[in-house]
Structure 1
């Protein structure tokens, strides 16, 4: 049974960012992920995490309000991407983060893909012990984002042929993009190095919408998946009052292990 992480950018927002790791640990999460941890120092996060593993961060996106969504696939922004990646890699090293989600940015076309592949190969060479995750994002929520299809991501991962580079499989985005998250998993599961879950179609608490969470976890076990399952959703109420899904999956794990 996988370990579960809380996305602290989206969960436990009832309290300040540095107070969220403690709540996540109390709620039964095994680890945490943070989209953009750059507003606080590594020392502040070390204190706040208090031993709770931080398992994923994103590369800096740029000016989000102005429409930036990262720069890895944006022609002409190679230096900006590389500076941002090194910043992410340094923080990951300080906080023992095993994996970074490299944000592709708003771009399209063959030149964008060439830039993306070159930047990914460069990033992998700079930090050979750091996992790199590529996450397809659905075009309704992220208009113009370069990486918007799991088949596209699979092809790029295969073309790179680097063990440290894999797909970030978000159930919710897979369902939005392809209409069949289970089918996406069946096709691309061996390429996946990080999993995220949410309810569908509302992106609230995990479960429903045809998502068999217990079945997914069983499939992860069967395929030998060694990564994390992260809860990345918008709580419909106070986070601590919507964690029945976590308790159920942990209870199932205990029964299987008994």
Structure 2
């Protein structure tokens, strides 16, 4: 039986030449199965956002908390209150559009104080909702100074916090850059993975441009039990719509 892979359009990366709501419409027109947001939704009129989502019929996989100049602040010493407030605002939006997950960004920080605060903030966030709370390791090459760097660090944090709704956002580009072989890293943390994002490596363009081999990876993720959408968080090499031919390579795997 042919496997059916579902793809979610990340509006923080795709159709960036258009207003946010038009990106959702474009995702529907392009045949995506779902959408996922950065923090654009918090600046949108809730009624307008709900109308577009109802019109397109696209579910929302997840959204980010406020990103700001430091890419979040959950681990930034002294910013715990702001981090909590950011989460509550994101949660309000998530509940209004029934988003599956909320990504809590750590921010630029380091050291024991940052590590302790991050865990406390995540514990607070997980206690506010039954929805999935995600943390995403981001490679140093793309974001020097970001607190959460690799999947093993993320796995330790999940164990320390001990909340069942805290999961890892497994971005294949960042994992390949920081940890090497993607499947090996995935095997170590697969029970803790809440969402998978895809892009090529090393240029982070459309999947299939260079490494990794998604004709091998996507079935492997399915075989391991992952059945959610694959988030398309990549930098289009040209026009977003023209570049979407990459999906045809994986329709009939």
TM-score (norm 2): 0.92
Find the residue that maps to 1:138 and give its secondary structure.
coil
Q: Structure 1 residues 237 and 208 mapped into 2: Cα distance closer, same or farther (>3 Å)?
A: closer
Match in the other structure for 1:41? 45
- How many positions carry a matched residue from both structures? 247
Distance 1:181 1:220 in 2: 11
Find the residue that maps to 1:242 and give its secondary structure.
helix
Of 19, 24, 41 in structure 2, the residue corresponding to residue 21 of structure 1 is 24
Match in the other structure for 1:184? 185
- 1:48 Cα offset (Å): 2.2
Q: 2:207 aligned with 1:206, yes or no?
A: yes
User: Is the 8 Å Cα contact of residues 2 and 220 (structure 1) preserved in structure 2?
Assistant: no
Distance 1:39 1:233 in 2: 23
Match in the other structure for 2:9? 6
Match in the other structure for 2:126? 124
After superposition, where does 1:3-152 map in structure 2 within 5 Å? Answer: 3-37=6-40, 38-49=42-53, 50=55, 51-62=57-68, 64=69, 68-127=70-129, 129-152=130-153
- 1:208 Cα offset (Å): 4.0
Find the residue that maps to 1:54 and give its secondary structure.
coil
- CA deviation map 1:106-146 (0-9, x unaligned): 1111121111111111111111x110111011112212111
Structure 2: stretches of 5+ with no match in the other structure:
none
- 1:147 Cα offset (Å): 0.4
Distance 2:152 2:222 in 1: 23
- 1:22 Cα offset (Å): 1.7
Distance 2:187 2:125 in 1: 28
User: Is the 8 Å Cα contact of residues 42 and 91 (structure 1) preserved in structure 2?
Assistant: yes
- 1:182 Cα offset (Å): 2.6
Find the residue that maps to 2:168 and give its secondary structure.
strand
After superposition, where does 1:163-182 map in structure 2 within 5 Å? Answer: 163-182=164-183
